[in-house]
Amino acid sequence: MRRKTLLATFCATVLSAALPVWAAQTQHLQSEQGTLEVTRIVSGLDHPWALAFLPDRQGMLVTERPGNLRWVSADGRLSAALGGVPKVWAKGQGGLLDVALSPDFKADRMVYLSYAEGGGEDGKAGTAVGRGRLADDLSALVDFKVIFRQEPKLSTSNHFGSRLVFDRDGYLFITLGENNVRETAQDLDKLQGKIVRIYPDGKVPDDNPFVAQAGVRPEIWSYGQRNPQGAALNPWTGTLWESEHGPKGGDEINIIERGQNYGWPLATHGVNYSGLAIPEALGQRVAGMAEPHHVWERSPGISGMAFYDGDRFKAWQHNLFIGALASQELIRLQLDGDQVVHEERLLGELKARIRDVRQGPDGYVYVLTDADDGGVYRVGLK
């Protein structure tokens, strides 16, 4: 009862002070499975990057890249910025990035954030991850502590990666971009262009593939990544899938396996933005390196991803949804087992950069639009 009273007080005070941005608007768009019902739940967000649903229909947490964490109620009311959030390095692609809840959130109320952190040589930055306890009244993160830092810090504003995924055993995977320093993705003494696996408190598991190897970072689970912008656990197999930006061409999906090298920059389907070849590239395939599970020769600029295993929309069962920034679409991939057998592009009518995609507890698909006036949209079949 005390928690409910605190929550009611918070809603009455903070939400009344928030901007009146709730204005649900619904559009009906066509798709191969029928009419889409697309409802804007909230607008007025400043370059939102990620969302996480709270249990028991308490709404969602949304990150804004400039450094704010906001609470959005189930009916679309928007809170003021929560307290206790770390200072972020908000330049270029940097800022406050992903958000994830502890697997034991109902017991520990821990919220995990990834973000760009400054302090590197010559003013450079890298990805950091920390956690704090969400206050009962949803007003702040309490006792926030950093549990992981990308080392060294090499980014001047690009390629932070930074998706957070817990697996079925409670390990935390963190995707890390190569900070736009290509060769570091192959350097095992650096944390650029890697996916790392740690315990929720930041400790390194003893069974990570490179533990106890001299000159190798023990956190590393896989390497040869460029700039992973999406990651999700396959709900049917329990495996980690990751999506990453190629350069000009060569966006790809990878199924992540222990200790594998995914090739960048030695293996790529893309070229430099100038049109010239990647200097280090040896071809699209290189012996001993994992090939992409799925690749786009022309880059949509893929971002967040979510598997659909809900019961609400049977037509979407065994589908994978991926946001697209450059082509401004929601990509629907139909799967047969792990194989991609069909692709459909959705929501182009919104003309919006789709940054994150999540399946909601209500069985709808939710997307974030990356803009000065970004929003949360709920997508379903009519």
**pLDDT of res. 24:** 64
Contact 71, 101 (CB under 8 A): no
Supply the pTM of this predicted model: 0.94
Whether 335 is in a domain gets the answer yes
159, 245, 269, 294: the catalytic one is: 159
CATH number for the domain harbouring residue 113: 2.120.10.30
What are 162's two structure tokens? 């930074």
Contact 95, 89 (CB under 8 A): yes
Whether 254 is in a domain gets the answer yes
Distance CA 196, CA 175 (A): 7
> Is 245 assigned a catalytic role?
no
Whether 7 is in a domain gets the answer no
Whether 4 is in a domain gets the answer no
Closest residue by Cα to residue 128 from 191, 61, 82, 84: 191
The one-character DSSP state at 140 is: B
What is the residue-level pLDDT of the chain in tens, covering all 382 positions?
444 444 444 444 444 334 334 446 899 999 999 999 999 999 999 999 999 999 999 999 999 999 999 999 988 999 999 999 999 999 999 999 999 999 999 999 999 999 999 999 999 999 999 999 999 999 999 999 999 999 999 999 999 999 999 999 999 999 999 999 999 999 999 999 999 999 999 999 999 999 999 999 999 999 999 999 999 999 999 999 999 999 999 999 999 999 999 999 999 999 999 999 999 999 999 999 999 999 999 999 999 999 999 999 999 999 999 999 999 999 999 999 999 999 999 999 999 999 999 999 999 999 999 999 999 999 999 9
Whether 244 is in a domain gets the answer yes
Counting the structural domains of the chain, the total is 1
Amino acid of residue 240:
L
Contact 42, 21 (CB under 8 A): yes
**pLDDT of res. 102:** 98
Distance CA 191, CA 219 (A): 8
Whether 1 is in a domain gets the answer no
What SS3 class is residue 45?
A: strand
Q: Whole domain around residue 232: which residue ranges?
A: 23-381
